[in-house]
Structure 1
Amino acid sequence: MPITPTIARSYVSRCDISLEDFRRIVERKTSPNDYPLAASVSCGLIPVYDAPALRASGHLTDDWTDPANLPLKKEFISALKNGPGVVIFKDAFAEKDSLDRATQILQQLIDEQKAIDTVLRDENYIVPNTNEKWAKKDPVSYSEYFKNDVLSLCSAAWLGPWYQMTSQISLCDPGNKAQKMHRDYHLGAVRNDTWGLFPAHMHGASHFMTLQGAIAHVDMPLESGPTNFLPYSQLYDAGYVASTDPDFIEYFEKHCVQSPISKGDAVFFSPGIFHGAGKNNTGELNGDCTNSPPIYRIANLVQVSSAFGRPSDNADRRATTNYIYPYLLEQKQKFEATKGKEGYSENELFNIISSAAESYLFPTNARFIHGKFQAPQAEVVWKALMDDLSAEELAKVLEEEEILNKVGV
């Protein structure tokens, strides 16, 4: 049902939050009739989609602009914008051998980060800027991963074209405590004494600028602590201010829900939903054995930003692209030589480039050159790939573009 905005003010303060108003928004169930493409509704709240079945039925293709994808995109938008704020795609990453290879690389990144880290963490362990580090270490597994149809469809459905991909691999060891309830990037990442400086309409806009996701790299039963969610909480306009209020925190802890997920599943959610990683109750806890063997919970946390916002990680898009381009060129040529039996299709190549290169032109000091607009980096890379430019030639072009972008003409 439509939600009446709870804020009619220009600014938001603690005086504006009301647990009673909040409860009227979140205390509901999700009707399966609202999400006819979903296979089920977990906890009576979270739509669950069967990715292989959607592929088989033609409702999910590797070209997110395909009209056949429109019903799924509409449901996805509705779920995050007006609905529970979170959805699950079962077997989004169905190629388990490829996923296992990705997990090995990501585990190496975790080990490298731990070797230089000076802080012992008792929550989930996160490696920043995984996207760029991964592309540098293993462009093959990076490309295999980011050609994924579910990831590209959800990113583009929520944010439109030219989105910016970042990812952070997360490891939660047995016994790690639960995260505190929070909202996420953008306003979720600023100090709570700063929220009041942002006008109310920016509180509403913040969670439309980013898509949050988590891809499971291991099976995550409930005892391993998959993410706690409070569905529909993203609809509460004063949620950023309320997220640190003791009464709201207590309510979250009593009413949040968890869904077990399996290796290869993907969870996507609004950054405005109240959420937090669960406690890993496996293995030994305080010296006592539990009934569950230890589970090292590994998830790739993707944070996809609108072209019109600022991404969370300071990624070098040119370097990331140069790392993977030789492999993309090899796969493109293989696809042509084998008439599509091997290699990557154009749609798959496009999905990978969208995850690596800068797809938005701005900011730039050289947007109008010799009577025509400068092309975004992703467009330059795409043209190079279609023209079979060598990796060395592309690297030179991208360097020249970056210099031109900074100094202008």
Structure 2
Amino acid sequence: MSYKRLFPKFNASALSEICGSSSISKADVPRAREVVQQIPIYHKEDISLNDAEGVMEEWHGVLKDGPGVFVVKGLADNLDVVDRAQDAANSIIHSEKLKYANRGDHFAAGGKNERVWNYFQKHAHEDPSGFSEYYANPILNLICEAWLGPAYALTSQLNVVLPSGAAQEPHRDFHLGFQSSEQTARFPASMQMATQLLTLQGAIAHSDMPAESGPTLLLPFSQKYDAGYIHYRNKELVDYFKAHAVALPMQKGDSLFFNPGLHHAAGANVTKDVKRAANLLQISSAFGKPMETVDRTAVTLSVWADLRAKYIQGDFNSSLDALINIVGEGYSLPTNLDLDPPPPTGYCPPSQQDVIRKGLEEGWGYRRAKEELLKRDSVRRA
């Protein structure tokens, strides 16, 4: 049996062998318009919901066995909605500067960047209708399901890298990307590889991002290096990344999605006047745990009027389905099975998304929706 519980010691050439021998062509990704620096470039207007299974299959292959990253140009194609989302973020940033002086960031000292933690929930409270327009995006829903399937959970952080903002060191992302090498080494190799399958990382540009503003540096195919979570801090790998990483300029509304195991790093903003702003999306599998806690009942109630309006306009169309999938908890577990047992006709009790859909079908007003959603919350508690 060749399977080993733990990874072997560091092999300096392993990553370069994988990245140096891997490539992708336009023929491998027929729905992309082009492949630039080994990154497939899609355009929202080319993607059809009638081809949902085909495009999800293609994206899944890109993320798992391909370069590990793709771009969707114009994912947020209504720039007024993007600007409105950034206006909400700016308002939150202003109020939080008064509340939290020099608050820290993952990779920068306090005050060097402008970051809104749990921007997802704060955005919903700050501008409910703007939030609803932003996330009622069927193509975003397809992207999430392509990697994670249904009942995913989306969280987000708004990040603004100011002029002269320094580059990050190359890294991998949540879960094990946030652990030390010593902590990571305690997890079996199978768990280290599995963590890639539990999360999808993404970003939607809230500003134009010319090359000199430092858009994300990416090392295509590096997610295929199985031992990457334990070894990405090694100097040889850092040097290889800096010599071979690529970056693509972005326009406002463009998006980038990548496997969390892809080696990447935000670039340095060497401009004098560009505030590089992005909504950083982290989408988690129903079987994983997101990085931030979100009160999804509060988010749902914030946008209940918009949910009702969209239902009245077009029943459960693709835009409303996308918004429900984004705001509501799609997986009914864990729960308190004494108070919330599986129904006689099924295996799991109703999820929050089930309650939302029932409420829309039955025409619940805000008060009834709040009552039913809080009741669902209460029976799930231990």
Residue pair 1:123, 1:179 contacting (<8 A) in 2 also: no
Superposed displacement of residue 250, structure 1: 0.9
Residue pair 1:84, 1:231 contacting (<8 A) in 2 also: yes
Residue pair 1:213, 1:301 contacting (<8 A) in 2 also: yes
Distance 1:37 1:219 in 2: 25
Pairing 1:365–2:336 present: yes
The answer for the alignment partner of 1:35 in structure 2 is 29
TM-score when scaled to structure 2?
Answer: 0.93
Distance 1:184 1:126 in 2: 17
Superposed displacement of residue 106, structure 1: 1.6
Listed one character per residue, the Cα deviations across residues 255-284 of structure 1 (whole Å, up to 9, x for unaligned) are 11000111110100000000011000101x
Superposed displacement of residue 195, structure 1: 0.7
The answer for the alignment partner of 1:401 in structure 2 is 376
Listed one character per residue, the Cα deviations across residues 161-196 of structure 1 (whole Å, up to 9, x for unaligned) are 000010000100000000111100111112221011
Listed one character per residue, the Cα deviations across residues 51-92 of structure 1 (whole Å, up to 9, x for unaligned) are 1133xxxxx22xxxx5x2112111100100001010001111
Q: Secondary structure at the match of 1:197?
A: coil
The answer for the alignment partner of 1:9 in structure 2 is 4
Q: Secondary structure at the match of 1:87?
A: strand
Q: Within 5 A, what are the aligned runs for 1:294-373? A: 294-333=273-312, 335=313, 346-366=317-337, 367-368=340-341, 371=344, 373=348
Q: Within 5 A, what are the aligned runs for 1:7-86? A: 8-12=3-7, 15=9, 17-27=10-20, 28-43=22-37, 45-54=38-47, 60-61=48-49, 68-86=51-69
Aligned length: 370
Superposed displacement of residue 12, structure 1: 2.6
The answer for the alignment partner of 1:382 in structure 2 is 357
Pairing 1:198–2:169 present: no
Gaps of 5+ in 1: 1-6, 55-59, 284-293, 337-343
The answer for the alignment partner of 1:277 in structure 2 is 266
Superposed displacement of residue 24, structure 1: 1.2
Larger mean Cα displacement after TM superposition, 76-85 or 17-26: 17-26
For 1:256, the aligned partner's letter is: A
Superposed displacement of residue 139, structure 1: 0.8
Residue pair 1:214, 1:299 contacting (<8 A) in 2 also: yes
For 1:178, the aligned partner's letter is: A
Superposed displacement of residue 362, structure 1: 0.6
For 2:19, the aligned partner's letter is: V
Q: Runs in 1 of length 4+ with deviation above 6 angstroms?
A: none
Superposed displacement of residue 206, structure 1: 0.4
Listed one character per residue, the Cα deviations across residues 342-389 of structure 1 (whole Å, up to 9, x for unaligned) are xx8622112111111111001101342563542001111111012111
Distance 2:311 2:78 in 1: 20
Q: Secondary structure at the match of 1:237?
A: coil
Superposed displacement of residue 123, structure 1: 5.4
Distance 2:185 2:77 in 1: 44
For 1:361, the aligned partner's letter is: S
Pairing 1:103–2:96 present: no
For 2:331, the aligned partner's letter is: Y
The answer for the alignment partner of 1:235 in structure 2 is 224
Residue pair 2:148, 2:198 contacting (<8 A) in 1 also: yes
Residue pair 1:122, 1:177 contacting (<8 A) in 2 also: no
Distance 2:235 2:319 in 1: 46
Superposed displacement of residue 124, structure 1: 4.1
Structure 1 residues 134 and 122: alpha-carbon distance in aligned structure 2, compared to 1, 3 A threshold: closer
Residue pair 1:122, 1:176 contacting (<8 A) in 2 also: no
Superposed displacement of residue 146, structure 1: 0.7
Distance 1:252 1:19 in 2: 12
Residue pair 1:364, 1:406 contacting (<8 A) in 2 also: yes
Pairing 1:89–2:72 present: yes
Listed one character per residue, the Cα deviations across residues 220-267 of structure 1 (whole Å, up to 9, x for unaligned) are 110000000011000001101121101111111111100011111010
Distance 2:230 2:129 in 1: 43
Q: Secondary structure at the match of 1:214?
A: strand
Q: Secondary structure at the match of 2:353?
A: helix
Q: Within 5 A, what are the aligned runs for 1:148-167? A: 148-167=137-156
Q: Secondary structure at the match of 1:193?
A: helix
Listed one character per residue, the Cα deviations across residues 293-344 of structure 1 (whole Å, up to 9, x for unaligned) are x1100000000000011011111111111111122112322x15xxxxxxx8
Larger mean Cα displacement after TM superposition, 379-388 or 227-236: 379-388
The answer for the alignment partner of 2:162 in structure 1 is 173
Distance 1:370 1:26 in 2: 50
The answer for the alignment partner of 2:105 in structure 1 is none
Structure 1 residues 370 and 276: alpha-carbon distance in aligned structure 2, compared to 1, 3 A threshold: closer
The answer for the alignment partner of 1:244 in structure 2 is 233
Residue pair 1:226, 1:278 contacting (<8 A) in 2 also: yes
Distance 1:87 1:312 in 2: 23
Distance 1:195 1:304 in 2: 22
Residue pair 1:168, 1:301 contacting (<8 A) in 2 also: yes
2:100 aligned to which of 91, 101, 117: 117
1:253 aligned to which of 242, 245, 252: 242
Distance 1:40 1:109 in 2: 38
Q: Secondary structure at the match of 1:30?
A: coil
Structure 1 residues 194 and 74: alpha-carbon distance in aligned structure 2, compared to 1, 3 A threshold: same
Structure 1 residues 230 and 364: alpha-carbon distance in aligned structure 2, compared to 1, 3 A threshold: same
Superposed displacement of residue 8, structure 1: 4.4
